[in-house]
Structure 1
Amino acid sequence: MKWFRQIWYQVFDRELVRPVVHPDRDSMESAEWNAWVGATGERLSAKFLSRGGCKVLYRNFRPKGGGEVDIVYRDREILVFGEVKTRTSDTFGRPAEAVNKAKQRLVIRGGNAWLRELNHPEIIFRFDVIEVLLVEGKTPEINVIESAFSTEQIGVGM
């Protein structure tokens, strides 16, 4: 029966398959709207990854020494540090295009802090970008870009 429940939630998780309904943007401050978009994207990303067989370990990791990782998860044997980028349209490009070098450095710094805590130098890891499109009236579009960037690409060591 457990397998049936897993399939049921994979296929019928309402939030992942129902059309997006935005709150009334005119009644919200810009920061409030941005917070709603970001939080919704991160929540849907975590559900999507879990439904896909990944194990979500942590959300919104902010180490004391700086850096930030939106979502830390395991994809089979690989530890993944994910940056979630959410948009309500693709008018100004895909969400992943907003993950610039400065943002990549922050994620790498956060990943580095996580790895120091593990004290396990041989662990395999990567940096993903999870794109979320929340277009009004359409089903959320979630796209995982595996190994979207690396420490070598932007000249930062681990």
Structure 2
Amino acid sequence: MAARSNNGGPARWRSPGAMGTNAMWMGMLCEVEERLSLYGYITNTGIKFILLLEIIHMNEDGSRCIDGSPSSLYASSTVSSLPGREAELKNMFAQLHDLYVRYTMNPFTKLRGPIKSGVFDKGIGEIASSFNSSAIEQAAQSGEANGEGLAWM
């Protein structure tokens, strides 16, 4: 991952004149064993945000598949095949970026070193909860429409 993020720098993912969240979106960097996906976002100032997303496989009854064997999987998919989820990921990175900017604007913040902030931690938790909740809502709605339930998560 480090090699990919350092090859070419931020301009590699940006079109000339690109602005906004799409300009900073690096997309999926790699998949790990069809279960984990790594996504990236790089700010104009070179700050890199990395998100590790677990692809959850569900059984027909809506319970989480523990063993991961193909015979027990009802269906599976990655976020990259779901344009709606990609838009949510971009939004999540934009929210994370905003949270980071607010953290750095605190005059008592030490910019070099680990982030130690209850407000920042709470914000991260809220962003993740919102993303997970919307996935469950979308799965329930899609399941009602096509009978798949939470299968795509």
Please confirm whether the aligned pair reaches a TM-score higher than 0.5, indicating the same fold.
Answer: no
Larger strand percent: 1
**Higher normalized contact order (CA 8 Å, seq sep 6+, divided by chain length):** 1
**TM-score, normalization: structure 1?**
0.31
Query: In terms of Rg, which structure is larger?
Result: 2
**TM-score, normalization: structure 2?**
0.32
